[in-house]
Amino acid sequence: MISFSVLQTDRACAARSAVLVTSRETVKTPAFMPVGTLGTVKGIASEELQGLGFGLMLSNAYHLYLRPGHQLIQEQGGLHRFTGWNGSILTDSGGFQLVSLADLHEVTDDGISFQSHLDGSSHQLTPELCMEIQEALGSDIMMALDECPPYPCTREQAQVSVVRTTKWAQRCVLASRGHQRALFGIVQGALDADLRRQSARELVEMEFDGYALGGLSLGEDKPATFAMIEASIAELPPSHPRYLMGVGLPEDLVEGVMRGVDLFDCVVPSRHGRTGWLFTTHGRVLIKNAQYARDDSPIDEQCHCPVCRKYSRAYLRHLYVSNEMLGVRLNTIHNLWYYHTLMTEMSSAIQTGTFLTFRRQFYEQRRHCPRSAAYAELAGVGDPLIAEGLKNGKDG
């Protein structure tokens, strides 16, 4: 099980710092969870991940069920022993990935019938099997099976999803009784605030250990995302952790924390590292660009990560354009360090009651980055033309 204690709430907004304790790790929140879908963050060893400051990692039950199999992992002593990870593990149920990756699938009230995206074999994922898989993996925090509606969707589709998610959540609660693992419910409702509130209220009645917000950052504009976060959180108990699933960019984390979110996960820092996008205090750097060919400065002068302390932009560009695997690893290490540092800085600002000042300075430092400028405009400062571009899905 877990315990969760709120230490401080910023006096000017909903941002809060807290401590999440599992049987393995004490995690200060707000916190970001690196995504190790198959039990590893691509290219990063478990001891390196812990050395970067992370104590909580996300893995995916659907992917591990298909390969190598939850029973094999259980035979090997569970996912922690199998992967050599000493921290805590949250396992996503995989419902979203299943529907998006499976070659053929059918969702009914009983569960999700699908063909594996690996070999075409037939399977059915039910709430009961979802709990069995995560129990076998030895997860510290399990996620209930939910139905994530497509984006865009009709209100009727969103309503069916909420009803089904509630029924599946009830079955997950029953299937997990007698076990000592924490279980989070997932709020659905697409972009309908009333359905979001309904979903949250129904889950709260089941007394989960924590609550997640699913079905966001699927292509909707940012004001809609923020509105759904606010509608959902208003119905969730302040005594429990709140987890925004699959989000996101640094600006998303800042905006989520301001609205009371405690936990985040996303593939962004590792995936962007593999594609040469590096996060810095002043915005993003695309390291493959020719302008860095003779640049002997670090990625970020203000960063103290192992990469910035030793390597130049010129060298990292050389590694990237030469397709050297070391370049991908170093890029990922830097991005993960950046994310952990960002969460630590936000926690400190909350504790001193200065989060809104931190947020303003965060955007000011990035005023020349179009995407950050767009977020700043949505927050009340900046160029409205850039903000309109972000609302229409354009990336600066």
Domain definitions of the chain by residue range: 3-266, 272-349
Is the pLDDT at 395 greater than 60, yes or no? no
pLDDT at 372: 82
Do residues 232 and 201 make contact, with C-beta atoms less than 8 angstroms apart? no
Average pLDDT over residues 183-190: 98
Which letter does DSSP use for residue 78 in this model?
Answer: -
Looking at residues 326-349, what average pLDDT do you find? 98
pLDDT at residue 382, as a whole number: 54
Percent of the chain with pLDDT over 90: 86
Model pLDDT for residues 267-319, shown as the tens digit of each residue? 999 999 999 999 999 999 999 999 999 999 999 999 999 999 999 999 999 99
Closest CA to 298 of 338, 354, 357, 256: 338
Structure tokens at 174: 């029953």
Structure confidence at residue 394 (pLDDT) = 41
Select from 70, 65, 47, 67 the least CA-distant residue to 57.
47
Residue 349 has pLDDT above 90, yes or no: yes
Between residues 372 and 283, which one has the greater pLDDT?
A: 283
| pLDDT (average), residues 31-58 | 97
| Spatial contact of 66 and 118, defined as CB atoms under 8 Å apart | yes
Active site residues per annotation: 92, 265
Q: What is the mean pLDDT of the chain?
A: 93
pLDDT at 375: 80
Residue in this structure with the two tokens 């130049």, named with its chain if needed: 312
- Higher-pLDDT residue of 96 and 29 is 29
Question: What angle do helix axes 355-365 and 370-378 make, rounded to 10 degrees?
Answer: 140
The candidate with the shortest Cα–Cα distance to 136, out of 199, 205, 81, is 81
Average pLDDT over residues 342-359: 97
- Check pLDDT > 80 for residue 379: no
Give CA separation, 33 vs 69, 90, 268, 367, in Å.
Answer: 23, 9, 11, 27
Respond yes or no on whether the N-terminal peptide bond of residue 380 is cis (omega within 30° of 0). Answer: no
The answer to whether 279 and 339 are in contact (CB under 8 A) is: yes
Q: What whole-number distance in Å separates Cα of residue 51 and Cα of residue 54? A: 7
Strands 182-187 and 3-9: unpaired
C-alpha 284 chain-centroid distance: 19
Q: Quick one: how many helices (H) and strands (E) in the chain?
A: 16, 16
Question: How far is residue 204 from each of residues 30, 118, 213, 275, measured CA to CA in Å?
Answer: 21, 36, 13, 40
Residue ranges in 138-215 assigned as alpha helix (H): 155-176, 193-204
- Tell me how far apart the alpha carbons of residues 188 and 162 are, in angstroms, rounded to a whole number: 6
Backbone angles phi, psi at 280, to 5 degrees: -135, 175
CATH code: domain 3-266 is 3.20.20.105
Contact 80, 55 (CB under 8 A): no
φ/ψ of residue 129, rounded to 5: -65, -35
Name the pLDDT band for 396 (thresholds 50, 70, 90): very low
Report, as an integer, the average pLDDT of 322-346. Answer: 98
Do 366 and 373 form a contact (C-beta atoms < 8 A)? yes
pLDDT band at 391 (very low <50, low <70, confident <90, very high): low
Dist CA 385 CA 365 (whole Å): 19
pLDDT of amino acid 107: 92
The confidence band for 387, taking pLDDT boundaries of 50, 70 and 90, is: low
At 386, the pLDDT band (50, 70, 90 cuts) reads very low
pLDDT of res. 373: 79
Arithmetic mean of pLDDT, 69-81:
98
Backbone angles phi, psi at 264, to 5 degrees: -140, 155
Q: What is the pLDDT of residue 389?
A: 47
CA angle centred on 100, ends 146 and 58, rounded to 5°: 60
